Amino acid sequence: MTLQEYDYARESPSKLAASCLLLALTMKNLGGWTPTLEYYSGYSAQDLHPLVKRLNFLLTYQPRDKLNAVRSKYSHRVFFEVAKVIPMDMLKLEETLTSS
């Protein structure tokens, strides 16, 4: 989804991928950012927090009327319907990120 948003073009691909992973881990309650993830990604959890919040905001307020190809593709069961995952409440996300 970030490929369709110009604001994300300035982010490094590795930081964007790490932030997406942290958001997914947080959304699914699969734990936080471990020392192993920090070592191999090169990013601390605190480095990723602002981008994680922006990504969740993108999921929350994504316009539904245009540029639906990505959402449609990833709504299919072949891709585990990840486009249908409900975004986290922004306050709960903030609380979860700061507590870890």
How close are the terminal C-alpha atoms of the chain, in Å? 26
Q: State how far the Cα of 29 lies from the Cα of 21, in Å rounded to an integer.
A: 12
pLDDT of residue 13: 96
66 dihedral zone (left: phi>0; alpha: psi -120 to 50; beta): beta
Residue 58: CB atoms within 10 Å:
16
| pLDDT tens column, 7-26 | 999 999 999 999 999 999 99
Q: What is the pTM of this model?
A: 0.86
Identify whether the C-beta of residue 42 lies closer than 8 Å to the C-beta of residue 14. Answer: yes
